[in-house]
Structure formats: structure tokens, C-alpha cells
Amino acid sequence: MSRIAYVDGVYQPLNLPGILVEDRGYQFADGVYEVCAIRNGLLLDELCHLERLEYSLAALDMPMPMSRAALQQVMRETLRRNRIHSGILYMQVTRGIAPREHMYDPSLKPVLVMTARPISAERRRQIMRRGISVISLPDQRWARCDIKSISLLPNVLARQSARNAKVEEAWQIDGQGMVTEGAATNAWILDAKGVLRTRPADNGILNGIVRQVLLDCVSKLALKFEEKPFSLDEALAAQECFSTASTMSVFPVVEIDGTKIGNGKPGAIAKTLSDAYDKVEKKLTEN
């Protein structure tokens, strides 16, 4: 079955052209996006993603492309037409179409694009069993990483560097030697003292949806926890490290820059939080 995309009001085969040359997203990366996980044919954490979409749009002085209710209807129809049981839904909103110049007309009509694709549930299980390896790189992104902008070139280069190094992810390091986040994930450690840590949701990171859900799980599990930056050295000396993202939920990190973390295997806290997230996920998809 061919994949179906929603492009500015029309459902069409994914391989058909649909974006105009003067779309500001194409020429200026002037837009935002969201990626929602699909489990058992349903969207996870849908309202959280919509709230973050609205936050990003407001930060860039862009209106919603339609009402929230209408957007939810398009999300469900895109999901239905693609018949995805396990995977992701990608939605992108650009400022609109106009002759190319840096200034914009606030009255431009935003352009909404949406796609969906499958991701194997077995792949998630494999990652949880074996963990991933990461490299560290200088963080070269802009100063508003809290906005989920489609301008992702530094992330692209970081991820490509990870691939070239034959690892799965790159953790980015700020000018003070502190870990910000992965190229496409949030970063966590269980430090040498047994305290779970992740960077506060400031402008230096994207406030991931799985991150938000896990913070609630951490509170309910009464784990020792601090929203506090940590250095690369602290990560290398940590008992455990892991990343989180909507695509795979929890990714145990077993190696950084060739150095084993702990015993070089996925840790107990990562497993505990993965199980906790799975319980939340199950509840969401059963209701």
C-alpha cells in the first residue's frame, strides 16, 4: 500500500509533488514540527504534542493552521489512511507561501503537512535489551532549542557524525562542558551518587514529551532525582545513562566515546522507567 500524505488540505500519495518553491519552510526553514508515537493504531500523548506545537508556533509569531479539533481530525484521518499500527506521525507547519524575503506578512496562511510511517515494535525491544552507543560533540545549535523548529542542520550533522562513527546517537556538549541533549533525544544519567539527573527544560533543550511523562513517573516511583545539568565527565562516571524520545521511549546508553557506562549493559533504572512508560502507554491506548 502506498503511503498517503496530507498536504495543505489534500490527502495524496506521498510521492506526488505538493510543496511550492516559495513556501517559507522550504526557503528559510521557517516552521515547526511534531512527531507523535503510534501504538496499537492510536496516537500517544496527543494533547501534550498539540500543546507543544502551539507553544512553538506562538514563539515564532505563527498562528495555528486550523483549530485544535480540526487538526486532531486530520491527524486521525492521516493515521487511518496509512493503516499504521506501530510507528510515528509527523506534522509540520510552515509560515506559508510568499515571495522570498526575510521579513514576513503576519497574515500569511500557514501550510500544514502530515505523514505517517511504521516503526517495528521489535526494534524498540532490541534497543532496550542491548542499549545504544553515543559520541559527544560540541553543541552548535541556536539559542532557542525549546522551539521545535524544522531548522535542524546542526542536528543532521551531529546524527551523521554518529552514523560515521558507527554509533546510534550524538550527545551535544555546551561551552561549559555540560551535556545539553542528544541530536534527537533528551539525555539522562544516574550519577555516581545514585541520583537520577536530566537538564532542566530551559532554552538549551527541547522539553521532550517522553521526558515530561517520565518526570511524573519518577515522582510516583519516589526516585532520587534532580533537574540539574551534568558534565560529560559525570556522564562517563555515571552508574547509568539513557536517552528518551517519542520514537523509541527509553534508549539505554551503554557506551560514550568508546567508554563503557557502568557494566556496559542497560541499567536497572532505565528498565524501570521503560516499564513505567509502557504502563502509561498501555493505559492511554486502552482508554
Residues with Cβ within 8 Å of 185's Cβ and at least 6 positions away in sequence, in order, are: 169, 208, 243, 244, 245, 251
83-101: string of b/e by CB count within 10 Å (b at 16+)?
Answer: ebebbbbbbbbbbbbbeee
- Whole-number Cα distances in Å, 185 to 46, 228, 276: 18, 17, 18
Contact 114, 89 (CB under 8 A): yes
Task: Give 24's Cβ-side CA count (13 Å radius).
Answer: 25
* Per annotation, catalytic residue among 109, 148, 166, 271: 148
| Kind and range of the H or E run holding 39 | strand 31-39
245-271: string of b/e by CB count within 10 Å (b at 16+)?
Answer: bbbbbbbbbbbbeeeebbeeebbebbb
Residues with Cβ within 8 Å of 258's Cβ and at least 6 positions away in sequence, in order, are: none
The residue with cell 534532580 is 226
Helices (H) and strands (E) in the chain, counts: 8, 15
| Angle between helices 209-221 and 268-286 in degrees, nearest 10 | 110
Q: Which of 177, 274, 164 is nearest to 235 (CA)?
A: 177
Residues linked to residue 4 through DSSP beta bridges, in sequence order: 13
Catalytic annotation on 193?
A: no
Please identify every residue annotated as catalytic. 148
